[in-house]
Each structure stands twice: as C-alpha cells, then as structure tokens.
Structure 1
Amino acid sequence: MLGWSITFLVVALIAAVLGFGGIAGTAAGIAKILFVVFAVLFVVSLLRRAT
C-alpha cells in the first residue's frame, strides 16, 4: 500500500513538472488517500499484535 502511495506521488510530481495540473492534482489526491489508508492499517496492525 505504501508502495502505491509513493508511485502516485512520483506520478503527481512528474505531471506537475510537465504542466499537467489536473493529472497532478488527481494523482496527489490518490496518494494522500492511500497513505492515510496505509497509516490506519499499520496502526491497527500494531495494536492487534500488541494484544
């Protein structure tokens, strides 16, 4: 999941450099969502392992 987030972040950065604002914004939004999902699942995993 973190790998996908980083991939979309790189796509967003490349698109922003090339001037594709809409694509960059969409890719950045997807990257943010995937990172939040990753972070939540990571915390849940840590909490379940601790019990």
Structure 2
Amino acid sequence: MRLTAPSFIVFLISLVLFVIAVLPLAGIAIPSIGVSTLWLLIAAYVVLAAGVLFKGI
C-alpha cells in the first residue's frame, strides 16, 4: 500500500473538526453542536486517514 500526503483541503477540514472538538475541553462551550466531542475527534481522524490512504482525495 502506498501512502500519499493529504490535500490541503482535506487537512483543513480535519483541522477544523479537531479544533471544534477540543474547544469544549478548553472551556468554550458550543451549544449548537449536538455531536459528542469523541465523535468529532473520530471524524477528524477518519477524514485525515482517508486523505492519506486514497490518492486524489
């Protein structure tokens, strides 16, 4: 299996999901997000992993 660097857009999407997930841990509550912090962290990792595993994403 050949791994590739994720595109800049995929990296930014993953980074935004990570930052949104970590904000409640820093004391900044975002009540409009009904998703658990754990699920946001998992989604950020899956997006980044998909960008690394699949070429062209």
Q: Per chain length, whose mean CA-contact separation is higher, i.e. which structure has more relative contact order (CA < 8 Å, sep 6+)?
A: 2
Query: TM-score of the superposition, structure 1-length normalised?
Result: 0.51
Query: TM-score of the superposition, structure 2-length normalised?
Result: 0.47
> How far is the alpha carbon of 1:3 from its aligned partner?
0.6
Paired position in structure 1 for 2:18: 2
Give the Cα separation in 1 of the matches to 2:36 and 2:23: 10
Answer with 1 or 2: which has the greater Rg: 1
Structure 1: 5+ residue stretches without partners: 15-28
Structure 2: 5+ residue stretches without partners: 1-16, 29-34
Identical aligned residues as a percent: 15
